[in-house]
Amino acid sequence: MKPTLRQSIQRLGIVDVHEHHMPELLLNRDVSLLQLFRQSYAGWTQARPYPLPFETRTGDPMLADAGPTTWAALTPFLEHSGSSMFVRNLVGAVTSLYGDGEPAITRKNWRALDTAVRKNHRRPDWCQTVLRRAGIERVITDPYNDPLLDAPRALGNNYLSVMRLNAFACGWHPDACDHNGNRGHALLRRCGVQPDSFGAYLRGLEKVVEGLAARQQVALKNALAYDRDVAFDEPDEKLARRAWGQPSPSPAERKAFSDLIVDRFCKLAGERDVPVQMHLGTALIRGSHPLTAAGLFERHPRTRFLLMHLAYPWSRDLLGLAFVYRNLWLDLTWSLLLSPSHFKLALHEAIEVLPDESRLMIGGDNWHVEETYGAMQWARRLIGEVLEEKVASGYFRREDAERLARKILRENAIRFFKLEGSE
Ligand SMILES: [Zn+2]
């Protein structure tokens, strides 16, 4: 019997264009059930892990010690936040990977699940085993703890990384850092650049981009929506220069400095045909609306931007942008973990409005492989449901749906990041 569309989508290999898999977590052999909740989007239900402009923080709460797994420590997730999709995804993944058929984490089974998590993570091959079970062939990771990480060397041959540019855009002073605690000056020095003047700093960015290939990095990543607004305006070099060397420049000087750095990176990326991934939506939500970034896309028509998360909650505005500007591609990452029902609605529209079939890609956006496993199960299911609905309504044929599914899960990413023949 011929498999259903959903079944054939289950069997497709995935090229996962966005994760936060990093050595600190992936190579840790001491992982507990509670850690999976703390170091995942489920953790975001208890406390937002990034500061808003009026807040400060000392370290990254997601990388802090979780403490021992107890029923009392699990109930805030499982009961108080049990309705959140972030929790639903992780519960589904944990019980499917470690459980005995019971689809819930309960007072009765939590100890056995915790033991199974710990036991399996002691195996050095466990993370790769979970990726294989999820049908993931390649992973492009954003290891923000070390933006210059050579991911294949650190994590395995099926990994590649992107270079987060935030620290460079916040590097007006040697001690200035981005929200992840990275300093632009220190990163430049690691690339062999002495940033002892504003001019040397700017020229050094070219060397950073030239070094991408040697570090096996396939794109730049702009996650500045967590540091500032995304209105990356026409650079004002004079104002940007006034920020240089100051421990605490004015907001206007800071903005001009990072506007200039982002513009330089986008120009260098366009000249070298290196894609730029960009976070849009939520984050510092007063300034993360996708339309405010339109100037950047217009000034760099040769640069290929991969815009993330369906710019939730402004997915329709994002689709409008991607309809108008032909240098935009969309990474559906995270949007399905925020809201599967909104994801389906937006995917229906995206299929209809985007100019061609190359524009959509998928990722997990997770820290541990369990969460990635769950995200990809959901991705297959939701994409399958949307495509089945499209076929049932007569929008297109099953063959068209199958071709599009292969492109979204795998082929578009291979072409976009030029992964053919690379291993
Ligand atoms: Zn992310």
The answer on pLDDT for 421 being more than 80 is no
Task: Classify residue 372: in a domain, yes or no.
Answer: yes
Structural tokens at position 205:
């960015």
Per-residue model confidence (pLDDT) at position 207: 98
Question: For 285-301, what is each residue's pLDDT tens digit?
Answer: 999 999 999 999 999 99
Sort residue 273 into left (φ over 0), alpha (ψ -120 to 50) or beta.
left
Mean pLDDT of 255-269: 98
Confidence class for position 423, pLDDT limits 50, 70, 90? low
Structural tokens at position 9:
């989508």
Question: What's the 174 CA to ligand 1 centre distance in angstroms?
Answer: 26
Per-residue model confidence (pLDDT) at position 370: 98
Per the DSSP assignment, residues forming a β-bridge with 361 are: 331
Per-residue model confidence (pLDDT) at position 56: 85
Please count the structural domains in the chain: 2
Range of the domain at 49: 30-123
Per-residue model confidence (pLDDT) at position 63: 80
Question: For 10-69, what is each residue's pLDDT tens digit?
Answer: 999 999 999 999 999 999 999 999 999 999 999 999 999 999 999 988 778 888 888 999
Question: What's the 364 CA to ligand 1 centre distance in angstroms?
Answer: 8
Cβ neighbours of residue 199 closer than 8 Å, sequence gap 6 or more: none
CA distances from 335 to 140, 207, 314, 339 (A): 17, 34, 11, 6
In this structure, the answer to whether residues 217 and 340 fall within a common structural domain is: yes
Domain boundary among 93, 123, 153: 123
Percent with pLDDT over 90 in the chain: 95
Question: What's the 20 CA to ligand 1 centre distance in angstroms?
Answer: 6
Count Cβ atoms within 10 A of the Cβ of residue 317 and give its class: 0-12 exposed, 13-18 middle, 19 or more buried.
middle
Task: Classify residue 221: in a domain, yes or no.
Answer: yes
In this structure, the answer to whether residues 9 and 108 fall within a common structural domain is: no
In this structure, the answer to whether residues 88 and 132 fall within a common structural domain is: no
Per the DSSP assignment, residues forming a β-bridge with 141 are: 19, 161
Question: What's the 112 CA to ligand 1 centre distance in angstroms?
Answer: 31
This prediction's pTM: 0.97
In this structure, the answer to whether residues 248 and 187 fall within a common structural domain is: yes
Question: What's the 308 CA to ligand 1 centre distance in angstroms?
Answer: 8
Question: What's the 272 CA to ligand 1 centre distance in angstroms?
Answer: 24
User: Which residues have a beta carbon within 5 Å of ligand 1, which is an ion?
Assistant: 365
Task: Classify residue 422: in a domain, yes or no.
Answer: no
Confidence class for position 414, pLDDT limits 50, 70, 90? very high
Task: Classify residue 292: in a domain, yes or no.
Answer: yes
CA distances from 208 to 19, 40, 216 (A): 22, 30, 13
Task: Classify residue 16: in a domain, yes or no.
Answer: yes
In degrees, to the nearest 5, what angle opens at C-alpha 149 toward C-alphas 190 and 303?
90
Question: For 125-183, what is each residue's pLDDT tens digit?
Answer: 999 999 999 999 999 999 999 999 999 999 999 999 999 999 999 999 999 999 999 99
In this structure, the answer to whether residues 119 and 130 fall within a common structural domain is: no
The answer on pLDDT for 422 being more than 80 is no
Task: Classify residue 421: in a domain, yes or no.
Answer: no
In this structure, the answer to whether residues 186 and 279 fall within a common structural domain is: yes
Structural tokens at position 144:
């923000």
In this structure, the answer to whether residues 66 and 95 fall within a common structural domain is: yes
Q: How far apart are CA 24 and CA 120, in angstroms?
A: 17
If DSSP codes are grouped into helix, strand and coil, which group holds residue 247?
coil
Task: Classify residue 423: in a domain, yes or no.
Answer: no
Question: For 72-116, what is each residue's pLDDT tens digit?
Answer: 999 999 999 999 999 999 999 999 999 999 999 999 999 999 999
In this structure, the answer to whether residues 245 and 107 fall within a common structural domain is: no
Task: Classify residue 200: in a domain, yes or no.
Answer: yes
Structural tokens at position 162:
């992107």
Mean pLDDT of 370-384: 98
In this structure, the answer to whether residues 175 and 100 fall within a common structural domain is: no
Question: What's the 19 CA to ligand 1 centre distance in angstroms?
Answer: 6
In degrees, to the nearest 5, what angle opens at C-alpha 9 toward C-alphas 6 and 10?
90
Per-residue model confidence (pLDDT) at position 413: 98
Domain boundary among 101, 123, 145: 123
Per-residue model confidence (pLDDT) at position 320: 98
In this structure, the answer to whether residues 182 and 193 fall within a common structural domain is: yes
Q: How far apart are CA 390 and CA 397, in angstroms?
A: 8
- Read off the CATH number of the domain in which 180 is found: 3.20.20.140
In this structure, the answer to whether residues 113 and 137 fall within a common structural domain is: no
Question: What's the 398 CA to ligand 1 centre distance in angstroms?
Answer: 32
Domain boundary among 63, 89, 123: 123
Provide the mean pLDDT of the chain.
97
Confidence class for position 228, pLDDT limits 50, 70, 90? very high
Question: What's the 323 CA to ligand 1 centre distance in angstroms?
Answer: 24
In this structure, the answer to whether residues 42 and 153 fall within a common structural domain is: no
Question: What's the 96 CA to ligand 1 centre distance in angstroms?
Answer: 24
Question: What's the 336 CA to ligand 1 centre distance in angstroms?
Answer: 13
